[in-house]
């Protein structure tokens, strides 16, 4: 179902731009919360933080965990944006739509794997030092 079009908002400048950008980002988080994958990512973060605490991980480990988390959220947001645009452009099955969605999913999976390698490295290092 398409939404009715409305006029493009006027550009915002100065400090008002910061507040407008923040509103847009909060809107993005609200939209992303509808995605199961994003909810899983947000649930995994406190679990990983707890695991790091149990393992006695260092400050840099926590920093890299957060960097990986925010990168994963960013890629998941872009993947969701791709899916929204593709679904709008191709409501019926199209090869380009499948390819675009598969590539967005691949980007997310690659970052999930990178985060998994990092997590595994921290766990292995901690167990090896014990």
Phi, psi of 93 (to 5 degrees): -65, 130
Of 39, 31, 42, 37, the C-alpha closest to 66 is 42
What distance, in Å, lies between the first and last C-alpha atoms of the chain?
Answer: 58
Q: Is 35 an annotated catalytic residue?
A: no
- The catalytic residue among 35, 76, 83, 95 is 76
Which position has the token pair 């994958």?
37
Catalytic center residues: 76
């Amino acid at each position: 179902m398409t939404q009715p079009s409305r006029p493009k908002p006027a550009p915002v400048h100065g400090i008002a731009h910061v507040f407008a950008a923040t509103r847009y980002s909060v809107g993005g988080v609200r939209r992303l919360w509808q995605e199961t994958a994003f909810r899983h990512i947000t649930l995994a973060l406190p679990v990983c933080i707890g695991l790091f605490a149990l393992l006695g991980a260092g400050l840099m480990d926590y920093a890299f965990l957060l960097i990986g988390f925010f990168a994963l959220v960013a890629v998941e947001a872009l993947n969701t944006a791709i899916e929204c645009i593709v679904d709008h452009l191709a409501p019926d099955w199209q090869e380009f739509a499948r390819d675009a969605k598969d590539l967005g999913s691949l980007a997310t999976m690659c970052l999930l794997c990178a985060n998994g390698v990092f997590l595994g490295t921290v766990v292995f290092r901690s167990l090896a030092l014990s």
